[in-house]
Homo-oligomer: A and B are copies of this chain.
Amino acid sequence: MRSATPSDDLTARARIRDAAVARFGRDGFAVSLRTIAQDAGVSAPLVLHHFGSKDRLRAECDAHVLATIASHKADAVGPAGADHLLVELAQVETYAPLVAYVLRSIQHGGELARTFYEAFVADAEDYLRAGVAAGTVRPSRDEAARARFLTQQALGGLLVSLTLEPVDDPAQLGARLRAHMDAVTLPALELYTDGLMTDRRMLDAYLVYVTDPPAGTPAADPRPTS
């Protein structure tokens, strides 16, 4: 579809899409079409005229954000995965709205959220595998679970921080994320380097527990009558 001239993408349609991305990222997906239209400097029906419905506008925003960030992912290959990419990207003023949109999307759930999340998990798995191969990262008993765990926690921590102390001005999102990283780096590096426990008792206990669970269903089913 959309076989029109390339200049088509530089006109009001793109303006509306960008305004929608910015508004969605700022205020969530419950914002009205009229607000978006006003931001773009057009009338509300024109939004529908171009995108058909609010859902399709949302879908187009998803695709746009996904494509834009994916195209800039190769460049920003840093030492840490997952959230670090978003933080780096949010520093660049232009991409801050896109990052806000992604975070809003993950907070809200839905298809794009899962897509991004799975991509982050895959990235983390690659990084960890490379680290293990290089000898800088300890191997895990379940590499996939560890990659998922780490990205889930990193992304979730970011989200909690941002939800509890929301950033009003999207221009300050970059600084805000940087502050989050600053607050998190020391505890994270401590934990990643030395761990938390002084001995292996809890881990060992869990390992024998999980390989040889105490007879019957563990704790989920209070009455294992079957």
A interface residues (Cβ-Cβ under 8 A, vs B): 30, 91, 106-109, 113-114, 117, 135-138, 140-142, 145-146, 148-150, 152-161, 163-164, 166, 174-175, 178, 183-200, 202-203, 206, 210, 219-220
Report A57 CB to chain B, min CB distance, Å: 19
Pairwise interchain contact A203-B193, C-beta atoms closer than 8 A: yes
A2 vs chain B, min Cβ distance (A): 30
- Residue in B159, B178, B184, B192 whose CB lies within 8 Å of A195: B192
Of A145, A154, A187, most B-chain CB atoms within 10 Å: A187
Complex CA–CA separation, A149 to B203 (angstroms): 21
Instruction: Tell me the nearest residue of chain B to A116, going by C-beta.
Output: B164
Rounded to whole Å, the gap between the CB of A94 and the closest CB of chain B is: 13
A190 touches B141 (CB 8 A): yes
A146: chain B residues within 8 A (beta carbon): 187, 190-191
Given the known A-B contacts A154-B153, A155-B156, are A189 and B202 also in contact in the complex, defined by CB atoms under 8 Å?
A: yes
Which residues on the B side are within 8 Å of A163 (C-beta)? Answer: 106-109, 113
Is the beta-carbon distance between A195 and B198 smaller than 8 angstroms? no
**In-complex Cβ contact of A203 among B30, B150, B164, B190 (8 A):** B190
Most chain B beta carbons < 10 A, residue from A106, A117, A156: A156
The answer for the CA separation of A175 and B192 in the assembled complex, in Å, is 30
A5 to B113, alpha carbons, bound, how many Å? 49
Q: Tell me which residues across on chain B come within 8 A of A107, comparing CB atoms.
A: 107, 163
Partner of A137, one of B106, B113, B159, B198: B198
Decide if B109 touches A199 in the complex (CB within 8 Å): no
The minimal Cβ–Cβ distance linking A153 to chain B, given in whole angstroms, is 4
A175 to B221, CA, bound (A): 9
Q: Are B160 and A152 in contact (CB under 8 A)?
A: yes
- A160: chain B residues at CB < 8 Å are 106, 117, 152, 155-156, 159
